[in-house]
Structures are given as C-alpha cells and as structure tokens.
Structure 1
Amino acid sequence: MIMKPITFILTALLTTSCYMASAQNNGKPEDTEVWEPIPKSVVTGKLNFAKAPSDALILFDGKNLDEWTMTDQLGAAASWPIEKGIFTVKKGTGNIQTKKSFGNYQLHLEFRIPKNISGTGQGRGNSGLFLAAIGPGDAGYELQILDSYNNKTYVNGMAGSIYKQFIPLANPALAPGEWQTYDVSWTAPIFNADGSVASPARVTVLFNGVTVQNNTVLLGPTQYIGKPAYRVKHGASPIKLQAHGDKSEPISFRNIWIREL
C-alpha cells in the first residue's frame, strides 16, 4: 500500500525531468529573449583611455598577439590582423583566447564598431568578450559586444548585457567609429568537490565609464537556447574574443590589460 504512491511520485518526477530536458533541447533562441524594459540611454563624458597599471599583464599593446591563440587550434598563433596598433576580427578564422587562464581579475579592453557598419539587431557589429572560456565553440560567460547606438534588439542581447541573462543598467553606447571601453571586475565561480556550486560567478562592468552590471550574480555560463545553469565544474579559464561567423563585422580592439586579484 505504501509502495504505489512512492512509485507514482518517482515516476512523475522522472517524467517531469525528462520533459524539462526535452524542452531545453527543443526550445528556440527567441524563448529567452527579453525586450523590455529598455535601458535608458545616457551620454558619457570624455573617456579615460588609461595606461595599464604597473602590475598589469599586457594582453595587447599594439604590437603583437603573443598572449593569444586560436580557440579551435590551441597553441596556434592568433591570426587576426594587426595594423596601426589595433587588431581586427578576421572572418572565417574563428575565436581567439588568451594562452593563460585566470581566476579573479580586473580587465580593461577598448573596442570599436566600424563607422560604416551595416545590418540591424544582432547582425550589427556582433562579437563577445567571454569572461571565462570553459570549452570549445562559444562556451563560457559572455559580455556582449554589439552596436547598441540606435540599434533595436532584445535588451538581454545588447552591448553591456550578460548575454541572455542580465540587461545592462543603462545604455552608454557611442556611435559606430568611436572607441569604447569595458572595465570588468570578475569573480570566478567556486565549486564543491561534487561539482555543485559553492559560490556563483559575479561581475561588475563599466561600459564607457558607466556601471551597467553591478556585482551581478550569474546564473551560469551563457546559453543561446534555454536557461543558463552551472553544468560543468571548472577552475581558472582563458578569456576569449568572439568572431561571430556570418554576423561578424570587422570590429577592432586595442589596449587590453589584466590584473589578477
């Protein structure tokens, strides 16, 4: 008499779990797009393109990409072209990532959307700064890079968002052709021995000097389809820059440095 209710409950739980797993696999990207509220546009003052602190590791100083490698061919030299002290996304080559792995850190990065940018929405200057790259492809925690100056898209996919998780607190994006800055304080997640999360990842982001993520607690790595969750135990990880396939525009970068915390 006792076993039947227990068997029923276990069966129901198993069925629900299978349904949720199926929904996760069979969902659509649109299911996790958020369109409102739209972050307020703000006008920033003169940007501070600061020189790196004396204790920083220089990830790019305008000369070479010696600190970077191809994500799909680890150890191979990063092949994005360098000209006049900047490097630019090269279509068809894939993502690049740092050779070194990092735990907690402070990062400074400058990027520029092309002045003659074309397209709309997610097809307009799409790249990404992966704050911790934990696997092949685009696996990791993505801070979105996109032209968000008068460019409508879902707000958890605009510049300054933690992609598909948290919308930015404001929209300080500058017009295409102008240099823009990300200043990031990253706290890596900590896992228990059994793989469960002891402390989730947290991030603070200043976009063009304006706080757009304030000690934000992440739900897990970026998930294009379905809800994010911590599924893979990991330690210190590389930092990655994304070449967004056919949606890539020649986005440029300069003056990248990091301080381990």
Structure 2
Amino acid sequence: MNKKLLVFSLAFPLALSSIAQQKNWDSLAKEAAKTEVWTPVPPVVTPGATPMDAPSDAIILFDGKNLDQWVSVNDHSKPAGWKVANGIITVDKSTGNIETKQSFMDYQLHLEWRVPEVIHGEGQARGNSGIFLASTGPGDEGYEIQILDCYNNKTYTNGQTGSVYKETIPLANACKKPGEWQVYDIIWTAPRFNEDGTVKSPGRVTVMHNGVLLQNNVTINGVTAWIGAHTYKKHGPSPIKLQSHGDPSEPISFRNIWVRPL
C-alpha cells in the first residue's frame, strides 16, 4: 500500500473521533451554560493586610484614637465616657454602657478585647463584660454575647465566654490567659417582625473566638435577661452596645473594632 494512503487510512478515523468528541463537548458545554449565573456581580472588597485589619467596605468603630462613633447609653447627648489611651478603650464603670451612634441590621463585626493580666474574683465576677448585638432599650436590653475570663475560671456554661448569655452554651472554651488580647468575629442576622409585633424570623448569630467556632448560626430566643425567659419585642435597626458590667474585677479593654453591614 502507498505510504501516503496508509497514513491517511490511519489518521482518518482519529480525525472523525476528534470531531465527534468536540461535538459532544460542545453539547455538554451548552447544557452546563444553562445553570451558569452571571449577574448580579459581587462587589469587589479589598481585604485588610491581615484578617485583623478592616476590609475596604468596613465602618471603623474604633481606630485607637477616639470614641467619636460612640455615645453614652444613659444619655445620647453625651459622648461615650470610657477612657482612650495608647490605642485602646478601657471600661469606665462610673459612666455606664456605651453604644454606636449608627444603627445596623445584619452585619459582620470584628472586635478585640483583653482582661488585665492581674485579675481577681471568680465566676461571673472575673472580667465580665458583653457585646449586645442590637441595643433595643435604655437598660441592658439586647442580645448579649458574653465576655468573661474563663481561663481556669469555672462558671455556669450558658454564661461563659462566647455564650449567647443565658441561652446557648458555646461549642468550646477558647480563652487565652489574662493579659493577652482576644478576638471575636461575629456574624449577626437581625430578627424580622410582622406589623403586629410577632416574630417573622428570629435573630441568628455565628461567633468565632480566637479563630475557634463557638456559635454556629444559632437561633436567638429573644432579648437577653438575667432572670426568666427571653422574649422578643419589635425593633428595627439598632446600635451595637458594649457593657460596663459593674462587678469588682479590673476593667476590660477593647481595640480594633469594625463592622461590615451585610
């Protein structure tokens, strides 16, 4: 047989097979395209240099300089009275709780906190504070994520660090030693209400403490209460509140607080 003819006779079936494979691929690609979504296009967010740093779309609530983004819960006409020095906020129990000037619904919150290296007391009287995810009233009303020194400190488990206070026990105890900075990263989905005040959808929260998952999209049962059941009352966008607990332990400090509305 002629060599050219032999080469052709061998190559022709391969060519036909390649054409068939291409057609098959084109057919599969058309089917796959039916489930591709191209819009809306997610916005571009520039991450911070580290996971601690605020991304480009964050609202800076405390940058180490002042408390301009905060007010006194007791009197909104007064600035927040906590102390700012060396890039940190320190609780001043004489002035009470503070909360953000801005109100929020759903958000991602980053906050760093520290109990003093030398600390006394035990149980709930040891570095007690809290983050109220939505400040729903003039008192301590809101949904509290507990702050407490639980490094070798025993207390009731639905009141330890990272608990939804008096509701949901954290999945782990990730506390560092007193004197070390600790990190909360929190995802909050605010509750929605019907016109008559009944709950349309409850609040939900995810809490990471020092990179450890403590609350995994758990349902909030209502406004935090020290005594009795937690129940809801209708509200809309609300400030974020930090607690001045008033126990005899040394005061808590905070730094690097930012929020991303979702």
Q: TM-score, normalised by structure 2?
A: 0.80
Which amino acid in 1 is paired with 2:71? T
Distance 1:191 1:185 in 2: 20
Amino acid across the alignment from 2:190: A
- 1:107 pairs with one of 90, 106, 109: 109
Match of 1:72 in 2: 74
Alignment of 1:111-260 (within 5 A): 111-230=113-232, 232-247=233-248, 249-260=250-261
Q: CA deviation at 1:248?
A: 5.1
Deviation per CA, 1:208-260: give whole Å up to 9, x if none.
11010000001111011001111x10001000000011345310000000000
- Max Rg structure: 2
Contact 1:127 1:248 in 2 (8 A): no
Q: Distance in 1 between matches of 2:104 and 2:247?
A: 30
Of 59, 62, 65, 1:60 maps to 62
- Could you tell me the TM-score, scaled by structure 1's length? 0.80
Q: In structure 2, how many angstroms separate the alpha carbons of the residues matched to 1:160 and 1:63?
A: 27
Q: How many residues align?
A: 213
Q: Contact 1:62–1:84 (CA<8 Å) still a contact in 2?
A: yes
Q: Structure 2: how far apart are the matches of 1:109 and 1:81?
A: 17
C-alpha distance in structure 1 between counterparts of 2:81 and 2:260, whole Å: 25
Q: Deviations over 1:114-137 (max 9, x none)?
A: 000100000000001000010011
Q: How far apart, CA to CA, are the structure 2 residues paired with 1:177 and 1:84?
A: 15
8 Å contact kept, 2:128–2:247: no
Which runs of 5 or more structure 1 residues have no equivalent in the other structure?
Answer: 1-47
Compute the displacement of 1:169 (Å): 0.3
Unaligned runs of 5+ in 2: 1-49
Q: Hey, which bits of structure 1, 4+ residues long, moved more than 4 A? A: none
Aligned-partner SS, 1:228: coil
What root-mean-square deviation, in Å, do the aligned CA atoms of Structure 1 and Structure 2 show? 1.0
| Amino acid aligned to 2:240 | I
